[in-house]
Amino acid sequence: MSQRIVRIAGTGSYLPDHVLTNDALSRMVETNDEWIRERTGIRQRHIAADGEVTSDLATRAAERALEAAGLDATDIDLIVLATTTPDKTFPATATAVQAKLGAGPGAAFDVQAVCSGFLFALANADSLMKQGLFNRALVIGAETFSRILDWSDRGTCVLFGDGAGAAVLEAYDSLGENTGAGIITHHIRTDGTKSDLLHVDGGVSSTGTIGHVRMEGNRVFKHAVTNISAAIRAVLEETGLSSEDIDWFVPHQANQRILNGVASKMGIDESKVVSTIAMHGNTSAASIPLALDTAVRDGRIKPGQLILSEAMGGGFSWGASLFRM
Ligand code: UT7
């Protein structure tokens, strides 16, 4: 019996030119390089230029992913874009990317799951493609998170940055039993009762404003380690794989201490952890595809290797995905 497989055919990413260092931040708000590095692992983050919008970042990342996959924009029949910082309230930022790329004909829509957005987008695209509705997709995480930061709140403004990452997915029919190739499984969850711990204090139908990020950092931290570990356990139990089978762990980049805590709790060797937090900060939905592309391009991640990814963010939303490159 033939089986439909969805694989990642190429990755790409983009970071805005402007780099904001911890030292530069310490001249804007009461903080210092040592505190930021020790408590988070972050050394710098990139900030989008005036007039540079989320779809610009997403389009640059998508162009690089298409080039890596050896495909043209006209080959793409689905774009799923994860963002918390859309260009406009509507239409979806994915449609702006569709137009800028000249992609299609096909469908393009946004997914809102904050820092877990890329995994939610990946699960969506993978499922739609496995149903046979689409053949070649772009899954993108892109953020101009700097636009929703309160630059006087040192508890949040030091953490986040802007950027975009993209993956081209390709579906094909494989003859025979489950080959274990391509995207294997996902576990995605939300808990709306915890939304006050990490949210934006504004919105279209509530205040009529964009609002700013508000977070009770240490309470989010504790939930993050618990929820992420549960999601990882779920994907491993479902597939019968163990943490030793994982070639690379590509987590959402929120805090180096969360990355280390989860890796040690799940028995994942530190040498398998892909960490980009020092250079990118927390880029929300963009952080996983940015880290994935970094490790593909520097030669660490090779074709056929098994990748475990996880994320946790506002909502709360969280999840884990397992896929073979
Ligand atoms: O991606 C979405 C999910 N997000 C996360 O997973 C983030 C999870 N949370 C965290 O990463 C950490 O909780 C933070 C990095 C946000 C904060 O680290 P923490 O170790 O939990 O610090 P804290 O909030 O408990 O604050 C400790 C101290 C406080 O001072 P006092 O009360 O002990 O005098 C803060 O006022 O550090 C102070 N502080 C700072 N000091 C210098 C907080 N922010 C700063 C700062 N610079 N930027």
- Domain parsing of the chain, residue ranges: 2-175, 182-324
Separation of CA 80 and ligand 1 centre (Å): 33
pLDDT of residue 174: 82
pLDDT of residue 278: 98
Separation of CA 271 and ligand 1 centre (Å): 26
pLDDT of residue 181: 83
CATH 3.50.50.60 fits 182-324, yes or no: no
pLDDT of residue 3: 84
Q: Please, what is the end-to-end C-alpha distance for the chain in angstroms? A: 23
Q: How many residues does the chain have?
A: 325
Pick the atom of ligand 1 nearest to 282's CA. 1
In whole angstroms, what is the distance from residue 259 CA to residue 275 CA? 8
**Tokens 């990642």, residue?**
8
Structure token pair of residue 313: 């963010």
- The domains spanning 2-175 and 182-324 adopt the same CATH topology: yes
In whole angstroms, what is the distance from residue 311 CA to residue 88 CA? 25
Q: Measure CA 277 to chain center.
A: 13
Pick the atom of ligand 1 nearest to 311's CA. 1
Question: CATH code for 2-175?
Answer: 3.40.47.10
Compute CA distances 324 → 13, 176, 211, whole Å: 19, 18, 39
pLDDT of residue 104: 85
In whole angstroms, what is the distance from residue 256 CA to residue 277 CA? 7
Please, are residues 309 and 8 in contact by the beta-carbon 8 Å criterion? no
Q: Which of 124, 227, 255, 282 is catalytic?
A: 282
pLDDT of residue 231: 98
Q: Whose CA is nearest to atom 19 of ligand 1?
A: 218
Separation of CA 258 and ligand 1 centre (Å): 13
Please, are residues 13 and 67 in contact by the beta-carbon 8 Å criterion? no
Enumerate residue ranges in the chain where pLDDT < 70. 1, 176-179
- 282 a catalytic residue: yes
